[in-house]
Structure 1
């Protein structure tokens, strides 16, 4: 049974990150889930070295993922035409641990179409390769296949993803076995 969700995403970098975390957790509660937001934990005051702070944050976030029943991931583009790399790691870690992952993105379309629409400066003149001559993945999925295949994606916001997750949980509870 899914009761708790690790809230992955670049939301931790927003200027209002703690407020955003509180909003996401309240939204989770309205759908019957406990939200676990990375910034719920503060680096202890005695950990002052930046590298040690990074290690502490890493271990704390892994601990939250371990504690969670599933992951809800904001997979919107972040600082370019790809999702946040830390979020991608967290998704992969959760999948490797056998935890369900549910993602959300704000706009529909294939990955290549989304890049062309939102980051046209990244597309080469032929429209098929990027500006460096590298292929743009096109499998008809809204994100790279390593994210889109294991994680059901909702086009919309966190609330819409939570509504889908709630329906998923109800189906799982109703199914025998």
Structure 2
């Protein structure tokens, strides 16, 4: 993938469930300030300028989707807040954005991912046991728990770099983009 034009700041899409926080505006302002300091331009999902006050829920949802996809297509990279959200997994919308960015060939750096393996976190939350073949399974349903020592589902760990926090993720994406 060719490096972006050095005469303009690379646009970094700031993916994550932070849009749902009551202090989302402050969170994104802080991330954008960190981007500025690294010679990057931070782009929050809320920068799509979507009118959420008129139309049906389906119309609003479609406009949000189209706006976020448009922002992703205009970005040079993505940082993604993949901390567990409402359970053991990251926010589904953010996971979609990571996959979309990967399909576009954009570099993606994740942050907020717990240190333990996904298997360890699942087994700590619900009972698990190894079957006769050595696969870890949920005790109640027998459903296999993805192992391989990954911190999240392997489709996420193999398509992203993982850093401890947003600041480290921004430094990493800046380095990947030659900043």
Moved over 6 A (4+): none
For residue 23 of structure 1, report the CA deviation from its aligned partner: 1.2
Bigger mean CA offset, 63-72 vs 104-113:
104-113
**Alignment partner of 1:148 out of 118, 134, 157:** 157
Q: How does 1:120-135 map to 2 (within 5 A)?
A: 120-121=124-125, 123-126=126-129, 128-130=136-138, 131-135=140-144
For residue 64 of structure 1, report the CA deviation from its aligned partner: 0.2
How many equivalent residue pairs? 166
Deviations 1:28-73 (A, max 9, x none): 1122211110112333267321110000000000000000001111
CA distance in structure 2 between the partners assigned to 1:69 and 1:92 by the alignment: 15
Could you tell me the TM-score, scaled by structure 2's length? 0.83
Matching of residue 138 in structure 1 with residue 147 in structure 2: yes
Is the 2:118–2:149 contact (alpha carbons within 8 Å) kept by the matching residues of 1?
yes
Could you tell me the TM-score, scaled by structure 1's length? 0.84
CA distance in structure 1 between the partners assigned to 2:69 and 2:48 by the alignment: 12
In structure 1, what is the equivalent of residue 7 of structure 2?
none
Counterpart secondary structure, 2:50 = coil
Gaps of 5+ in 1: none
Q: How does 1:12-23 map to 2 (within 5 A)?
A: 12-23=19-30
Matching of residue 82 in structure 1 with residue 62 in structure 2: no
CA distance in structure 1 between the partners assigned to 2:77 and 2:113 by the alignment: 21
RMSD of the alignment, in Å?
2.0
CA distance in structure 2 between the partners assigned to 1:45 and 1:124 by the alignment: 42
Matching of residue 159 in structure 1 with residue 167 in structure 2: yes
For residue 27 of structure 1, report the CA deviation from its aligned partner: 1.4
CA distance in structure 2 between the partners assigned to 1:71 and 1:167 by the alignment: 13
CA distance in structure 1 between the partners assigned to 2:53 and 2:22 by the alignment: 24
In structure 2, what is the equivalent of residue 65 of structure 1?
72
Give the structure with the higher percent helix.
1
Q: 1:102 to 1:125 in 2, by over 3 A?
A: closer
Bigger mean CA offset, 104-113 vs 26-35:
104-113
Is the 1:124–1:132 contact (alpha carbons within 8 Å) kept by the matching residues of 2?
no
